Structure 1
Amino acid sequence: MIEIIRVREGAFNPKGNWTREQTMLAFKLYCEMPFGQLDSRNKEIIALSKMIGRTPGAVAMKCLNIASLDPKITESGRVGLGNASSLDKKIWGEAHADWEAVIAECEELLAYIHKEKKLPEPETLPIEERDFTGDVRAALVKQRVGQSFFRRAVLSSYGERCCISGVSDRRFLVASHIVPWNEDATIRLHPGNGLCLSAIHDKAFDKHLFSLTDDHRVILSKHLKNSKDDFLRQVFWVAEDKKISPPDKFAPEPSFIARHREKMIQDAI
């Protein structure tokens, strides 16, 4: 269970300016949905509109306003609606300073709404049955919820396809961290710290057997280049110098790519 916070009166007012609480949840939805699905007829937008007291059209417009803050969107010629408010910009900045804190706040708001409206509890990834203490279980739930957000955000950014192989079966797709989960809590949920990879590409990337150049071309480690395994040669050698398929949102952060590449180089020494 996510901790249920006390929410101030008027947090989900259907009239007037958007509140912080409403904007936070619209921001989370923007992160988790493909850009092309930000439409008032989308079932997730309709569901959120009912929860926060805004119309589906207003939620879709808010998501498109938030999109105008995403450099990947604007660099591609898509400008969203270009009417981002100061509150939109504030939340965007807060998220990029500490993604884990912002997503945790969003999950607490959702837990509050589900309780107040007597809605079914939001789904979380299962935790194996063990004799965990309350604090440990709460921490595990928080971690699983964060992982679920990261997966949705990364896969939606890449159109649910491996950015190297093009594999589109979700059973084989992984939201792969560029900077490992345990290295920096402030970026572990940053969608720009993720690549959508097939399971085998994720494993190799996690082991620093390949990395990316600054312009997102695949570079193989000497370990893969020297491999005698026919299968690995077939899978990875054809990818060398190939540019990954770009995401629709949240381009890989250059500094994160550089950190990963440097680790690959160090491992090869």
Structure 2
Amino acid sequence: MAERRNWTEDEVTEALSLYLRLPFGKFHSRTPQIIRMAERIKRTPSSVAMKLSNLAALDETLPQKGLAKASAMGRQVWARFRRDPSFVLVAFEAQLQPSRPQMPGFSEQRQADWIAKQSEVTRRAVVQRRGQSFFREMILNNYRSRCALTGLDDARLLTASHIIGWQEDDTHRLYPENGICLNALHDRAFDRHLISFDDDYRMILADDLPSETKRKLTAGASERLQLPERFLPGPAFLMHHRQRMVERQNTPPLG
């Protein structure tokens, strides 16, 4: 039987990483990801599932709440995540490597030692890939793995689109409110500021788009974004994106 003990900060952080990438309806002891985490940290699947529900009680973006009771450690970890989501990446890495021997929780020092051995270029590439993978899983989960404009539900054709681009501002890269699940075509248009969205989540088409392109982009697309289960697109992020679209249209082409 798993030893009864208080949850550590590392364990709660790992639970949070899983919480962000699982649908609310899968917070139960039969979910494979919950079972694997429980085995790794020497807890029962039921206790891990309950911890995810405790975290849901702290999620102010959810229409429904989880268990009302939330620990002081849970509140501390949630508050840290809302300030800087990037700290969950070490926990995400632990969940990607379930076969690696682990002490209860996981070893941040072991991860830090491994990273330290890499060159700076390699280290940055690893962190970037890890962050992009985490962001994709989180955003697709929020949108039930459906394009927010067309309802397309094949993950191979879906993208976790950044509202403020990955390269544009590294401080907002992993905020869940900075992502929208879009199909490949609309993601390309969104990334190039050819389309945007207003404060009511209605699609805006750039003035300089050819009429046939406008028709293709609106065909089969809903007038407004189908909103996620949690973490609505941030109004400030959308405003920034619209401003970038205006700037692009007002910039004379080169040559």
**Could you state the TM-score of these two structures normalised by the residue count of structure 2?**
0.84
Distance 1:165 1:44, change over 3 A: same
Aligned twin of 2:206:
221
Q: Which secondary structure does the structure 1 equivalent of 2:193 belong to?
A: coil
- After superposition, residues 110-149 of structure 1 pair within 5 angstroms as 114-117=99-102, 134-149=119-134
**Could you state the TM-score of these two structures normalised by the residue count of structure 1?**
0.80
Aligned twin of 1:233:
215
Tell me if 1:249 matches 2:230: yes
The letter for the 2-side match of 1:79 is K
- After superposition, residues 150-229 of structure 1 pair within 5 angstroms as 150-224=135-209, 227-229=210-212
The letter for the 2-side match of 1:228 is S
Does the CA contact (< 8 Å) of 1:70 and 1:250 recur in 2? Answer: no
Inter-partner Cα distance in structure 2 for 1:165 and 1:185: 29
Does the CA contact (< 8 Å) of 2:17 and 2:92 recur in 1? Answer: no
Inter-partner Cα distance in structure 2 for 1:171 and 1:111: 20
Aligned twin of 1:35:
24
Does the CA contact (< 8 Å) of 2:23 and 2:141 recur in 1? Answer: yes
| 1:91-150 per-position Cα deviation (integer Å, ceiling 9, x unaligned) | 1221222222x12332465589754349xxxxxxxxxxxxxx733222211111111100
Q: Which secondary structure does the structure 1 equivalent of 2:204 belong to?
A: strand
Aligned twin of 2:107:
none
| 1:68-101 per-position Cα deviation (integer Å, ceiling 9, x unaligned) | 222221xx2x11112222221211221222222x
Does the CA contact (< 8 Å) of 1:66 and 1:80 recur in 2? Answer: yes
Aligned twin of 2:242:
261
* Aligned counterpart in structure 2 of residue 63 of structure 1, from 52, 60, 81: 52
Aligned twin of 1:82:
68
Distance 1:198 1:31, change over 3 A: same
Distance 1:21 1:135, change over 3 A: same
CA-based RMSD: 2.3
The letter for the 2-side match of 1:233 is R
Aligned twin of 2:35:
46
Inter-partner Cα distance in structure 1 for 2:89 and 2:171: 12
* Aligned counterpart in structure 1 of residue 84 of structure 2, from 65, 90, 98: 98
Inter-partner Cα distance in structure 1 for 2:119 and 2:99: 21
Once the two structures are TM-superposed, the CA of residue 38 in structure 1 deviates from its matched residue by 1.6
Does the CA contact (< 8 Å) of 2:34 and 2:48 recur in 1? Answer: yes
Distance 1:111 1:160, change over 3 A: closer
Inter-partner Cα distance in structure 2 for 1:135 and 1:189: 21
Once the two structures are TM-superposed, the CA of residue 223 in structure 1 deviates from its matched residue by 2.2
Gaps of 5+ in 1: 1-12, 119-132
Does the CA contact (< 8 Å) of 1:103 and 1:146 recur in 2? Answer: no
Once the two structures are TM-superposed, the CA of residue 15 in structure 1 deviates from its matched residue by 2.0
Inter-partner Cα distance in structure 2 for 1:31 and 1:205: 24
| 1:28-49 per-position Cα deviation (integer Å, ceiling 9, x unaligned) | 0001111222221111111111
> How many pairs are equivalent?
235
Q: Which secondary structure does the structure 2 equivalent of 1:223 belong to?
A: coil
Inter-partner Cα distance in structure 2 for 1:150 and 1:179: 13
The letter for the 1-side match of 2:160 is A
Moved over 6 A (4+): none
Does the CA contact (< 8 Å) of 1:218 and 1:239 recur in 2? Answer: no
